C-alpha cells in the first residue's frame, strides 16, 4: 500500500486553521494514490503543551475528532493523527488515533513517555502498549514521539504483529541523530517499517527542523518530505518479526 507522511507547521490553539492544513494534505495524498496519511504530534491543536492545558477543552477535542473522521471519509483515505486525550484537561494524555477511509476509529493510543517539564505539567502518561490492527491487509501500530526512543515500545508493537509503526512526533531543534540513525535502527531491529512525521518551522517559540522519515524493515530510508508531503510504497516484511522477550510483560496494562 502507499502511505503519505505530512510535515508541516501548526498555529497553536488554532484548530480550524490546522484542520484545514490537514484536509489539503489529505486531498493531495489521496490524489497521489496513498491509502493512509500520517500527521505530526498534536498538529490539529499545535504543539504548545501548557497553552493546550488551559485553552483546549474536552469539547474542542471531541469536535476535532469528528472533523478528522469527516476528512477521512470525504477523501477516502485513512488518517493517523494526534490530539490531546478526550478526558478533562487535568487528567488527559497525548494520544494518537488511526481511522480508516470510512472515518471509523480503528486504534487509539496514549503516549507512555512524556518529554520535558511542559508535557509532564500538561498531560498524563499512558500505560498500555501500542495497539496493532489490520489496515488494508497490513498490520499497523501506533506510538507517539519520545516513545520511539525507547526500544521496548517498538518491540512491543513488533511482537504484537506490527508491520508498520506510525509515529506522530514533535521533535524540536535540529537533532538529526533521531531520524537519521535511531528511526532506521528501530525499523531494522524489529523488521518493520517505521513512519515518523514531524512539525517544521516555529511554533510557540520552538523551532522544528522537520526531518520526517520513513524507514523500511531493512533499515533503509524509503523517503523524507522536504518539507510537505512524502508518498511511499510500503509492503509486509519478507522476514518474521522478533520473538517476544520476557521483559515485555512490564509494558502490559
Catalytic hit among 69, 119, 145, 203: 145
Active site residue 152: no
Active site residue 67: no
Buried b (16+ CB within 10 A) or exposed e, 176-189: eebbeebbbebbbe
Q: How far apart are CA 198 and CA 38, in angstroms?
A: 10
Catalytic hit among 41, 69, 119, 203: 41
β-pairing, 193-197 with 164-168?
parallel
Active site residue 111: yes
Q: How far apart are CA 93 and CA 2, in angstroms?
A: 30
Per-position DSSP letters for 156-185, written without gaps between them: HHHHTT-SEEEEE---BB--THIIIIIHHH
Residues written for the chain:
253
Establish how many alpha carbons lie within 13 A of residue 161's alpha carbon, considering only the half-sphere containing its beta carbon.
9
Backbone angles phi and psi of 4, in degrees to 5: -120, 140
Catalytic hit among 69, 111, 119, 203: 111
Residues designated catalytic: 41, 111, 145
Amino acid at each position: 500500500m502507499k502511505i503519505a507522511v505530512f510535515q508541516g507547521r501548526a498555529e497553536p490553539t488554532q484548530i480550524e486553521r490546522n484542520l484545514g492544513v490537514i484536509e489539503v494534505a489529505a486531498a493531495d495524498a489521496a490524489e497521489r494514490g496513498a491509502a493512509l496519511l500520517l500527521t505530526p504530534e498534536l498538529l490539529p491543536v499545535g504543539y504548545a503543551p501548557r497553552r493546550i492545558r488551559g485553552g483546549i477543552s474536552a469539547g474542542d477535542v471531541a469536535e476535532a475528532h469528528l472533523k478528522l473522521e469527516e476528512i477521512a471519509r470525504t477523501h477516502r483515505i485513512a488518517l493517523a493523527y494526534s490530539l490531546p486525550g478526550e478526558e478533562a484537561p487535568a487528567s488527559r494524555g497525548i494520544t494518537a488515533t488511526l481511522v480508516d477511509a470510512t472515518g471509523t476509529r480503528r486504534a487509539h493510543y496514549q503516549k507512555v513517555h512524556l518529554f520535558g517539564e511542559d508535557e509532564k505539567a500538561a498531560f498524563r502518561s499512558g500505560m498500555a502498549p501500542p495497539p496493532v490492527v489490520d489496515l488494508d491487509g497490513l498490520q499497523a501500530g501506533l506510538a507517539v514521539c519520545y516513545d520511539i526512543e525507547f526500544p521496548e515500545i517498538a518491540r512491543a508493537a513488533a511482537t504484537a504483529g506490527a508491520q508498520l509503526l506510525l509515529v506522530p512526533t514533535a521533535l524540536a531543534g535540529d537533532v538529526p541523530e533521531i531520524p537519521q540513525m535511531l528511526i532506521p535502527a528501530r525499523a531494522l531491529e524489529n523488521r518493520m517499517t517505521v513512519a515518523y512525521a514531524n512539525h517544521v518551522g516555529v511554533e510557540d517559540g520552538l523551532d522544528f527542523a522537520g526531518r520526517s522519515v520513513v524507514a523500511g524493515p531493512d533499515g533503509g530510508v524509503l523517503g523524507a518530505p522536504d518539507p510537505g508531503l512524502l508518498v511511499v510504497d510500503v509492503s509486509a516484511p519478507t522476514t518474521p518479526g522478533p520473538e517476544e522477550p520476557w521483559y515485555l510483560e512490564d509494558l502490559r496494562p
